[in-house]
A and B are shown apart, each in its own frame.
Chain A
Amino acid sequence: RKEVEQDPGPFNVPEGATVAFNCTYSNSASQSFFWYRQDCRKEPKLLMSVYSSGNEDGRFTAQLNRASQYISLLIRDSKLSDSATYLCVVNLNYQLIWGAGTKLIIKP
């Protein structure tokens, strides 16, 4: 089992829709979690950290479920500019473990 798993997609979603994807992690001792956004062939950019109580930043909501060992990202009212690859990152003992990313394509 991979340490961090993501559905590679692509998720094809119409503009304005709500989309959500999950990321599962294998090590229950994982300490912190992040979502990164990456545009084609560019460096990933931190989208948001994921807190135990869940957190929201504008149209983006991140949640953590420690019991089931997954984190989720919800995007509301999707925009064309949201098209990107979303990377899940888990911090375990100060090592960052990266998922392979979920590709999201927003269509007009």
Chain B
Amino acid sequence: GAVVSQHPSWVICKSGTSVKIECRSLDFQATTMFWYRQFPKQSLMLMATSNEGSKATYEQGVEKDKFLINHASLTLSTLTVTSAHPEDSSFYICSAAQGLDEKLFFGSGTQLSVL
């Protein structure tokens, strides 16, 4: 079955640094990948949708210059949190759409803690 690999699982960083999170589709080509953020005890919130080879579409309220998304290939999308601050501490999850039936497969998530 389809697998989406997300790394790293845990990141602890100092305020002001940048953090890159990778999302890979291991056995299928993902034309579309989604990035979500989840604060404690809340549901996932869609941050952006990225299509391979084009600019990501960001949801309202999500700063595109702070959350850089790159989807350079059909199997890899990256989310870079630039100049991270403590309020960016959250759980970030990616998902990838496989094929025309648009079934979504999810990564295992990245817990970001900014000190």
Contacts and interface: CB of A to CB of B under 8 A. Distances in A.
Interface of A: 2, 36, 38, 40-46, 87, 94-98, 100-101
Given A46-B43, A100-B105, A95 B1 contact: no
Contact of A98 (B45, B46, B108): B108
9 contacts: A36-B44, A40-B102, A41-B104, A43-B36, A43-B43, A44-B43, A96-B93, A97-B108, A101-B104
A101 B97 CA distance: 13
B2 interface: yes
9 nearest A-B residue pairs (beta carbon): A98-B106, A43-B46, A45-B43, A43-B44, A96-B109, A46-B43, A95-B108, A95-B9, A44-B44
Contacts of B10: 94
Contacts of B111: 94
Contacts, number: 44
Contacts of B42: 46
A95 B43 contact: no
B102 A41 contact: yes
Given A2-B1, A43-B45, A94-B111, 12 more contacts: A36-B44, A41-B102, A41-B104, A44-B43, A45-B43, A46-B43, A87-B106, A94-B9, A94-B10, A96-B93, A100-B1, A100-B105
